[in-house]
Structure 1
Amino acid sequence: MANESVTSAEQLLGALRERRTIGRVKGEEVPRELIEQLLEAATWAPSHHNTQPWKFVVMTGEGRRLLGEGYANVYSATTGDQDVEKREKEVKKAFRAPVVIAAICSPSDDPRAVLAEEVAATHAAVQNVLLAAHALGLGAIWRSGAPLYHEAMHQQFKLREDEQLVGFIYVGYPDITPNAPSRRSVQEVTEWVDK
């Protein structure tokens, strides 16, 4: 039993070090069962008072047009440009991976819930998705940026006034081998207080 615990700990710590952002994936379809495993992993994220303030919209096939139209609507709202070709270029952004998962913070009505903690819990759920994708041999990237926060995108996903998008997770089979990123040393970012 002790050896199993050591192996599990080594695997988890290894996954934390080895997971990479994979921005380029193949067009190959990802089985629904694997996507469901990603979402299951997400639901095990911690949340204060166990509010579980997340929800997900999974877009595959032509369903990705939901996000694509959101990008196009944000483009038109910010530029005033309704050019069909330019809007279609924005739509194509949603088709960079066979699966796109919109992660949404849907705050609890629990009076003890604090919005910042609800958002942080949803971020933790996204990190679980990224780690699960790595464990399953999938590549993933957590995309955000200005369109994520624009009212036109919120309308596209029919968000309640208190809900917010926290990211679009693009998922597929890796089509690149990323370089190892550098990290600041633990000593550089840690202060020990023992007296």
Structure 2
Amino acid sequence: MSASLEEIIRGRRSIGRVKDEPVPKEQIEKLIEAAVWAPNHFGTEPWKFIVMTGEGRRVLGQAYADIAEESVQIQELPEEERKLRLEKEVAKAYRSPVVIAAVCVPSDNPRALLAEELAAAHSSVQNLLLTAHANGLGAVWRTGDPAYHPKVKQAFGFEGNEQVIGLIYIGYPDMDQPVGKRTPAAEKTVWLEG
């Protein structure tokens, strides 16, 4: 018996450790197909997805290294240490067999607000994560300064106002499912009734 939508929502957790085994392309396509069904104002569909597997992950890894190389701490290291540190930065892109850069591509529709375009793109990532969980895959949505750095935009060949909203690392789980905890919804709800 398959899980209900509510069980999938409550059961999804960030899975940061995954096995180093390939995920079939059809599985990834299924996740992205779910992602594109997110709600979006005016039908703008303000998203795109860059899927990195195999050596395709090096594009992201090199961007991580290029960003790190700008830091004074890295520049002041002895050459051998600097080289090792930059290799560790590249290796971050290889933490899972699949990395998907979720990108917001805001519409030029004059009625579309950037905040709503970003909300729609973020909703697409939630669809992707829930579908990954429902299909036995582990995933974690990463951001942080490097995700928004101009060198990442350059690495992906962005033009205009495209922006990474998340780097989703995907694979088969190699850890126990974490237990979730949330504040009861009643404590976060205000009812205005007449």
Give runs of aligned pairs for residues 1-195 of structure 1, distance below 5 A: 11-79=4-72, 81=74, 83-195=82-194
Q: TM-score, normalised by structure 1?
A: 0.92
Q: Unaligned stretches of 5+ in structure 1?
A: 1-6
2:11–2:180 contact (8 Å) kept in structure 1? no
State the 1:88 CA deviation. 1.1
Secondary structure of the equivalent of 2:48? strand
How many residue pairs were aligned? 188
1:147–1:153 contact (8 Å) kept in structure 2? yes
1:53, 1:95 → 2: CA distance? Answer: 27
Secondary structure of the equivalent of 1:181? coil
State the 1:163 CA deviation. 1.1
State the 1:179 CA deviation. 2.4
1:77–1:152 contact (8 Å) kept in structure 2? no
State the 1:162 CA deviation. 0.8
2:184, 2:69 → 1: CA distance? Answer: 44
State the 1:150 CA deviation. 1.3
2:73, 2:66 → 1: CA distance? Answer: 10
1:24–1:175 contact (8 Å) kept in structure 2? yes
State the 1:193 CA deviation. 0.3
Task: State the superposition RMSD in angstroms.
Answer: 1.5
2:58, 2:72 → 1: CA distance? Answer: 20
Pair 1:23–1:35, CA change in 2 (3 A): same
Pair 1:159–1:186, CA change in 2 (3 A): same
State the 1:38 CA deviation. 0.5
State the 1:116 CA deviation. 0.7
2:49–2:102 contact (8 Å) kept in structure 1? yes
2:50, 2:71 → 1: CA distance? Answer: 25
2:21, 2:89 → 1: CA distance? Answer: 22
1:47–1:118 contact (8 Å) kept in structure 2? yes
State the 1:127 CA deviation. 0.4
State the 1:110 CA deviation. 1.0
Aligned letter for 1:99?
V
Deviations 1:66-90 (A, max 9, x none): 1101111111123373532211110
1:168, 1:77 → 2: CA distance? Answer: 21
Pair 1:43–1:129, CA change in 2 (3 A): same
2:95–2:169 contact (8 Å) kept in structure 1? yes
